Chain A
Amino acid sequence: MTINKNQDGSKLEIALEGRLDTMTAPALEEEVKSSIEGIKELVFDLKDLVYVSSAGLRVLLSAQKTMNKQGSMTIKNANEEVMEIFEVTGFIDILNIEE
């Protein structure tokens, strides 16, 4: 999986490419942790994310939890597979998803 970060002031956009699972989640978690301080607006661009696993989803949820306290988080360009996971897990209502 590739993580592309793009920070513009207090706005951070993270684009994910590939598969987010138990192997790759820790790297994303680390990236989020190291750059989330002071961020008011966090955007995940999932255009090139093929699949997400439970562990991967949890990293997104944890980012959401942090952002609830300091700003907002948006997920955009999720594919049908990833959307399906958001839906069956019940998080489609909790995450802020741009369709």
Chain B
Amino acid sequence: MGGDLIRLNPSREAIEMNDLAFPDSPINTVGFRLDLPETDASVLKDAFERVADKTVLLHLELMKKDGVRYLHDTGKPVSGAVLGSITADDADEEWEKDTQSSLPEAGWKAKVWSVKSGGSSLFFLVHHLLLDGYTCMQLAQLVLDEVNGVQTDLSDIDYTRLPEDDENSDGFSPEEQKNFWMHYFDGVQNEATVMRGDPSGCERLRLTYTVPSELLDKINAFEEEKGLKDSAVFGAALSLWLARSGQTQDGVFLMPRLNRENPRQLSAMDCMTMVVPVRNTIREEDSFTEVCRQSMRQAREASRHKHYGIKNITGDLHASGILSGMISEYVLNCIHAGRLRSNVPFSIYENMSGGMSNHLTIAVQRIAGGINMIYDARVGIYDEEKTKDFNDALLYIIEQGVSGEITVGNIDIVADAEKEKLLGVKGKEIPVSDTDSIADLFRKSVEKFTDRPALYAGDESYTYTELDKISSRIANALLAKGVKQGEPVLYKLKRDHRLIPALLGIIKSGAAFIPLDPNYPEKRISYITKDSGASRMIVSTDTVGSDEGIEYLDIDELISYEDDKDPALSIPQDSLAYSIYTSGTTGNPKGVLLTHKGIENITAPDNNPFNREVVKNGKGIVAIGSVCFDISLFEFFVPLFNGCFIELAPEDAMADPRALAVLILKHNANLIHCTPSRLAAYLREESFSDALKSVDAVLSAGEVLPGSLIKELRDVYDVHIYNGYGPTETTIGATITEEGDELSIGKPIANTGILILDDKGRLIPFGALGEICIYGNGVGLGYHNLSEETGKRFKEYFGKRVYRTGDLGRFFDDGRIEYHGRNDFQVKLRGLRIELAEIENCMMSYQGINAACTQVRNMYGRDTLIGFYTKAPGSEIDDGALREYMSGRLASYMVPDILKQIDEMPTTPGGKLDLKKLQQIPVEYVSAYRAPENEYQRIICEVFAKVLGIERVSIGDSFFEIGGDSLHTAELIHNLTEMIPGLKLEFGDIFKYPVPETLAQFIYRQFAELSDSEESVIDKLDYTGIDPLLSKNVLPSKGTDKKRRHGNILLTGATGFLGLHVLMELLKEPESFDNIYCLIRPTKRLDPPKRLKNLLFYFENTECEEMLGTRIFAVSGNIENKKIFDEEIPVKFDTVINCAADVAHFAYDDKLDKVNTEGVRNLLKICEKNEARFVQVSTISVSGFYKSDSKPLSFDERNLYVGQTINNQYILSKYMAEYECLKAMADGKVDVKIMRVGNLQGRLSDGEFQVNKNKNAFTRRLVSYVNIRKVPVSVYDSLVNFSPVDEVAHMICNLSRLPMDYTVFHVSPDKEIPMKLLFDSLKKLGYEIAVVPDEEFESYVLELKNDKEGRVMLEGLLADSPDTDYRFTNVSQSFTDGIIKDAGLIWGDITEGYLSKYLQVLDEFGIFEGGNV
């Protein structure tokens, strides 16, 4: 049987993919260690070798043919067992080492150890491509049988059956399969990726842990009692962990299945494993046992449909919009060492390594009575600590589940070490007094800073002492009026010098202040006034109101109170200090109740980096925050408690950069507070920009900081910016960034901690996305009179009083927090989970956009994403450009369907976005309706409408403008091809022709071309005479030594890349010809002789200059013309060498025909007249394609037409030229030689390449790979025809001198080169290109195709992508190879040195940088 090539089955193909993605890693290694404590090593070695002799799988070697991997049966074991001696302790270490090292080329290795303490041990490790874990155990049994000297009990194993002919079927039709999987995943809600990270490569980490024996006993007892297997128990635990971590209803993971059902499969030694996804819906009230049972059922169901293949399953789910991206990043593999039989004692350890690019593969391995947990983790997502945490979590879940009846809702999913980390994200603990009230803090400040300026407001100003006195007057006046401790006192004042004294006065009196903005609508003021239960309101004469039951206190009257001595009351620190009303997302504002303690904490000098900056460098702050937002309190109290002044901005200055600039400079304030988007917009205002140069620090809040802003502030203005985050409920702030942190909202401030919890307040893994919850000194008292709401948001978790923010976030490893927007802003759009905040941030990062907000609306019966934005003054936004910008940064489904510019964002009185009003802004797809004018237009409009669920489509509507996305594109193509039989549409076509009008034209053109198909053209030609001619292209039994002279040569295309090199090669053998006449077209600049000389110089050839005009003549002409020559040439030609060609692959007119076919006819006539020989340079591509479902075609030097399809005008024109030549020869008119050349590339001597590098299809493909920095493994691993032009020219010159009988040559090097070499050389040039699995590459390409930028990058790949229905005809060139060898010629080696020179030339021409320098 030796010599057979065995194709890889689908299981092996999947494994091969991993193998290529992780070269030189032990990733696909399986095997076992068999310890025989009472058996001699020599016995074991003999036993193994006997097994190896009869096991065909161990005779197979991996080999590659035509770029495809096969298994090849060598007829005997490809390796043997090595014998060694070892101590028992060393054996463990050695085994561990062995499993981590890569395999030899043979594909397996075996070692038999003589163990010093007695007995022996066999290590057998094998590539997963050869066999799977199941077959490992079959092999182990065979070895044991040999050792025991028994006939194998597995007598039904067919050792010799070659593992390629299995019918892979579950007995379901593809339709049934598809239906099953769609149903299986119907309504699924899962999170494929729990942990985010930054995996830079394909590096994997392998870790093994042992299940502790106590837990092991519990698991065994549980499984026994409930009749469950490991896969059910661990599957349930993993599902629970996934669902809880992702806060989704389902846990979905992948599971390798044995894929052996019938006796034949069970006995087969093979590699048959296939992977299926398993979905488990987690219901909190279910018992763990129930979830285990469900997991078992789900796995079984999935397994029954495994042959549909993970690729098809994923594809269908994507197409239907049920899922996007990976199904799951988690793989669970339960391995049983099986029950081996033996009379001699033994123990066995199985080695199983998963291996994909997924985040985590968990192998649960039963060995020697125990369980090993073997992890294979993707570096960058998981490290050792995270993997350990995961393992602990999984076992902890199981421990809780098997220790007694428990519902899964009550199971914790993080174990101790991780829990400690999760509870440990907190700011530093700094000492703060536990008695100081705000009044005490201010008093201490006054004592310290006495005459320093404390407040500037308009033309008024106060020193600390003055501010103290005036606020004391107010306090004493209030006390005189009977204000009681803790009583709420409202104030409604304009932003003038009386505002801050009023606030301090209320505090000093022991009461709590409630700010009201006089600009608030009357209704809102009344509501707050009434709701607060306050009976007093401080007003000025122009803000007084008429609310019932309110005693209005005039501020001027209070200020004129005589007693200016600080009442210095003792105010409990945890009593109410103030109340701020925040807008509830629904209904009325809520009064948040805060204490003195919170203010004390956040204003402490060492509380956070901004405060430290204030203490260190602070002079004064420009306060712009509305008093109704608590950030204003930060603006007031931090400076006041730290010796700085407040420059209080009046209302009209808050949104006016010029006024702010004036305020900054007025008293040299060096601190400001501003939101990032405002700041970015203000920077464009010159006076503000100038003023900012004297500012030292900016406090921002409320938005994520764009990195560009941080950089600009630092580099241009030398300003530090701190970004704070925190809700009103926890006293102003909870986290803050160190300077220059754009990704996160920073770390907790002092005496404050952050928890990330699920919706039930439970811990989720460190790094998983959850709700940001805050505990610590700042947490407020709750909501006024809203006990239910207070109970919902202020909770007791882990012994701490915690506020649930409703914001989403996740921890970075270092405890910084990544902000993910509001919980309630997360929406599901067409089955995809999207975060509106992310889209908005992207919009806002676009130059000129001031504010952005996205909404999902149901329009025309489908969910439509709308992006509203406002522009910065003076800027212009083009929706198209914005869309393109966003497409380059967001997943396609996240790019809004409609972009709508509005004048300003509607806001609520408190300044927050008014979502309700936004909802009312009308949007529509604007386009004037034009009715279809022809049949195709009618069909297309109809299908657009159907696919997008809209009523009417105009022929001018762009598919993508009216709501189409990539998901719909697939749907569209499907529908159109169904409606228009025979239509061929690619994804890219829709992007090229998104409008019914143009798409219809495209379809017309396609059918017009097809009806005049090339196939039929070349099929109908008359080949009589040609075939007998070609049949003479066989190697002579004896070498041929006859070489004819060229005589007078007419060389066409002499200024082309190949033509010039043919000329140079000819000149190397001046005795082979008389004269050479180069046919050259004059250009507008140069006549033919000058052109020739110039180009020879360009290609660094000066040696033949002296022959120009003596033996080499440039003659003016063009082969397209019947006469060819512009002037009469009185010469008789003996040889015509035609290197002229138009190499454009597509053209809209008949230009290609004219040059490439018609030109050849003209030349043939010249030859006939001159009795000259004709050498036609052609291309191997005339071999064409064949349909992938038909019989493969082969093509050699004895063929012209073998039934191939040619779908490219250029190649067709070259084919027709060959036909003309051979026909002329068959008719006895001309002696013809055809030189079919391959992929012409840079010359071997110095790498120099054709003048216009961008026009070469091969280099364009390379450029695309460089552009996207990725290459599919199949390409990386393939071979390519790479023909240095000087070598090819050399061969052409020699071959054209051979006898007349030989007519066709395949002139390309006898060896193809691995593409790998090119990529390795590119890497050395600094272009590192990642090798990725084909599937990943394809999906990446699909994604890139979505936007224009991406399509430009892909140009070289898209332009040349072959139709997937066709395969290249197999081409051989053994005749030419033989002739060349006979003639004593050798192809120069393509060395790495040459390739790097060649690539360097390309690089120096800038072609990897977009063809630019």
Contact = CB atoms under 8 A, between A and B. Distances in A.
Nearest to A89: B1251
A61 interface: yes
A90 B1086 contact: no
Interface in B1048-1090: 1083, 1085-1086, 1090
Given A54-B1401, A89-B1252, A94-B1412, A81 B1100 contact: no
A55 B1246 CA distance: 10
B1100 A62 contact: no
A61 B1098 contact: no
Contacts of A88: 1251-1252
B1097 interface: yes
B1413 A61 contact: yes
B1098 A54 contact: yes
A51 B1101 CA distance: 12
Contact of A54 (B1091, B1099, B1254, B1413): B1099
B1090 A81 contact: yes
Interface in A63-92: 64-65, 68, 80-81, 83-85, 87-91
Interface in B38-74: none
Interface in B512-554: none
A80 B1085 contact: yes
Contacts of B1085: 80-81, 83-84, 87
B1097 A19 contact: yes
Contacts of B1091: 84
Contacts of B1097: 19, 21, 51-53, 81
Given A53-B1099, A61-B1413, A85 B1248 contact: no
Contacts of A5: none
Interface string B1249-1267: 0011010000000000000
Interface in B1229-1280: 1246, 1248, 1251-1252, 1254
A58 interface: yes
Contacts of B1102: 21
Contacts of A84: 1083, 1085-1086, 1091, 1094
Contact of A51 (B1083, B1094, B1246, B1406): B1094
A43 B599 CA distance: 66
Contacts of B1412: 94
Contacts of B1094: 51, 81, 84-85
A90 B1254 contact: yes
Interface in B1202-1253: 1246, 1248, 1251-1252
Contact of A65 (B1090, B1100, B1401, B1406): B1406
Interface string A43-56: 00000000111110
Given A53-B1098, A58-B1405, A64 B1248 contact: no
A89 B1252 CA distance: 5
Contacts of A21: 1097, 1100, 1102
Nearest to A66: B1413
B1404 interface: yes
B672 to A, nearest CB: 35
B321 interface: no
Nearest to B1406: A61
Nearest to A65: B1413
B1411 interface: yes
Contacts of A61: 1404-1406, 1413
A62 B1413 CA distance: 7
A51 B1105 CA distance: 13
B1413 A81 contact: no
Given A61-B1404, A65-B1406, A53 B1254 contact: no
A21 B1405 CA distance: 15
Contacts of B1099: 53-54
Contacts of A87: 1085
A90 B1090 CA distance: 19
A22 B1100 contact: yes
Contacts of B1401: 54, 58
A18 to B, nearest CB: 12
A53 B1090 contact: no
A58 B1251 CA distance: 12
Nearest to A59: B1404
Contacts of A58: 1401, 1404-1405
Nearest to B1055: A88
B1404 A62 contact: yes
A51 B1248 CA distance: 17
A57 B1406 CA distance: 12
Given A80-B1085, A90-B1252, A55 B1405 contact: no
B1252 A81 contact: no
A65 B1246 CA distance: 23
Interface string A7-34: 0000000000001011000000000000
A65 B1094 CA distance: 25
B1098 A52 contact: yes
Contacts of B1252: 88-90
A35 B1413 CA distance: 20
A91 B1099 CA distance: 16
A54 B1252 CA distance: 11
Contacts of B1251: 85, 88-90
Nearest to B1404: A58
B1061 to A, nearest CB: 13
Contacts of B1098: 51-54, 57, 85
A90 B1413 CA distance: 12
A72 to B, nearest CB: 13
Nearest to B1087: A80
B1099 to A, nearest CB: 7
A91 to B, nearest CB: 8
A93 to B, nearest CB: 10
Contacts of B1404: 58, 61-62
Contacts of A62: 1404, 1413
Contacts of A51: 1094, 1097-1098
A54 B1086 contact: no
Contacts of A52: 1097-1098
* Candidate in B1097, B1252, B1401 with the most chain A CB atoms within 10 angstroms: B1097
A89 B1099 CA distance: 12
B1100 A64 contact: no
A92 to B, nearest CB: 11
Nearest to B1090: A81
A54 B1401 CA distance: 9
B1406 A54 contact: no
A84 B1092 CA distance: 11
Interface string B345-387: 0000000000000000000000000000000000000000000
B1083 A54 contact: no
A80 B1254 contact: no
* Candidate in A57, A68, A88 with the most chain B CB atoms within 10 angstroms: A88
A42 B1085 CA distance: 26
Interface string B1084-1122: 011000110010011110100000000000000000000
B1402 to A, nearest CB: 11
A54 B1090 contact: no
A22 B1097 CA distance: 10
A19 B1413 CA distance: 23
23 contacts: A21-B1102, A22-B1246, A53-B1097, A53-B1098, A54-B1098, A54-B1099, A54-B1401, A58-B1404, A61-B1404, A61-B1413, A62-B1413, A80-B1086, A80-B1090, A81-B1085, A81-B1086, A81-B1090, A81-B1097, A84-B1083, A85-B1098, A85-B1251, A88-B1251, A89-B1252, A94-B1413
Given A80-B1086, A83-B1085, 20 more contacts: A21-B1100, A22-B1100, A51-B1097, A52-B1097, A53-B1098, A54-B1100, A54-B1248, A58-B1405, A61-B1405, A65-B1413, A80-B1090, A81-B1085, A84-B1085, A84-B1086, A84-B1094, A87-B1085, A88-B1252, A89-B1251, A89-B1252, A90-B1251
The 4 closest A-B pairs by CB, nearest first: A51-B1097, A80-B1085, A61-B1413, A58-B1404
